[in-house]
Amino acid sequence: LYEQTGKPNNAKKPYFANYDITEERWHTDIRFMDGLKYRDKVDILVGGSPCQSFSTYGLKRGLEDARGTLFYDYARMINEVQPKVFIYENVRGLLMHDKGKTWQVIKSVFDSLDYDIGEPQILNAQDYGLPQMRKRLFVVGIKRSLGLSSFKYPAKMPLLRKATEYLNPSNRSEERRVG
């Protein structure tokens, strides 16, 4: 795709600079990735699909938007890779999109892949030690053949630092410093 457009891949260069990865292990676009070569080699698959299609700030075209349909490629990856567990993340608006119909479609796809997903949860980053108010939808799927009980989301933890403490280290107070 990048060769056709003549545009640089702005995500690839810094990724290669920061991680020990080879060209063979780099995948630019999930639509062209073959998950079968990873089948039964992955314990947990974490990902999602673009959120613009479901966001309250977007056009809310859902699965009618090309970005929204990338959910199906994520589901294809789960089916091909067959991880023991998957985590799907997106905006909380996905649950309410099209009066809940979009979520019902996504849930039925996960069910068809033979994973138990339990109840999706809206988690806020600031409830888990990150000084940012960011509410996101999380869905945890556990392969039914494992025979495990449902997943329990982690308990909330106190926020120990403010964002300004990360931006300006001189603002850190000793009693609040962690580690």
Buried b (16+ CB within 10 A) or exposed e, 135-174: ebbbbbbbbeeeeeeebeeeeeeeeebeeebeeeeeeeee
35, 45, 48, 51: the active-site residue = 51
Give the pLDDT confidence score for residue 33 in this predicted structure.
Answer: 83
Contacts (Cβ under 8 Å, ≥6 apart) of 114: 143, 144, 145
Closest-CA residue to 94 (of 29, 157, 48, 45): 48
d(CA 100, CA 28): 31
Low pLDDT (below 50) residues in the chain: 175-179
51 given a catalytic annotation: yes
pLDDT tens, position by position, 142-167: 999 998 877 889 999 988 888 887 77
Helix (H, G, I), strand (E, B) or coil at 89: strand
Contacts (Cβ under 8 Å, ≥6 apart) of 154: 128
Give the pLDDT confidence score for residue 65 in this predicted structure.
Answer: 60
CB 93 within 8 A of CB 56: yes
What value, to the nearest 5°, has the Cα angle with vertex 128 and ends 127 and 129?
100
Provide the whole-model pTM. Answer: 0.76
Token pair recorded at residue 53: 């299609």
Percent of the chain with pLDDT over 70: 81
Token pair recorded at residue 99: 């009066």
